[in-house]
């Protein structure tokens, strides 16, 4: 499941330490985010179990959102070896997200 990020420093450390990280940026008032979040968690846990899931409330940690140029909710960023590989915003399809993660994930963990 998702680990909620509490500080910018925590996010930077995880981004550096984890081989693969999916950051889910959202806000309290985003209804689409609430529906999409469990679907993303289910996808990652079943298909890509080595990806660490983190959740960032953009309204509570605006500096994390700003440093990652996140201006819309929901936004999903996937980092591999600390580098951003995938960026999805607003209208996010689960099957599309799965297809985009497959190649870098298999290269990293096969």
| Backbone φ, ψ for residue 76 (5° rounding) | -120, 130
Residue ranges per domain, the chain?
3-109
What tokens appear for 99 in the block? Answer: 């297809």
Q: Is 86 within 8 Å of 93 (Cβ atoms)?
A: no
pTM of the model: 0.95
User: What CA–CA distance (Å, rounded) separates 76 from 2?
Assistant: 13
Note whether 53 and 44 are within 8 A (CB).
yes
44-66 pLDDT, tens digit per residue, is 999 999 999 999 999 999 999 99
21: nearest Cα among 57, 50, 43, 46 = 50
Task: Write the pLDDT tens digit of every residue in 16-43.
Answer: 999 999 999 999 999 999 999 999 999 9
Please tell me the class of the 3-109 domain. alpha beta
């Amino acid at each position: 499941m998702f680990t909620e990020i509490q500080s910018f420093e925590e996010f930077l450390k995880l981004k550096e330490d984890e081989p693969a990280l999916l950051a889910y940026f959202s806000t309290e008032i985003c209804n689409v985010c609430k529906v999409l979040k469990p679907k993303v968690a289910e996808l990652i846990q079943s298909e890509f179990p080595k990806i660490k899931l983190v959740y960032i409330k953009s309204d509570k940690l605006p500096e994390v959102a700003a440093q990652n140029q996140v201006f819309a909710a929901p936004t999903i960023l996937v980092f591999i070896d600390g580098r951003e590989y995938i960026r999805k915003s607003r209208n996010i399809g689960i099957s599309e997200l799965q297809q985009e993660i497959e190649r870098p994930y298999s290269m990293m963990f096969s």
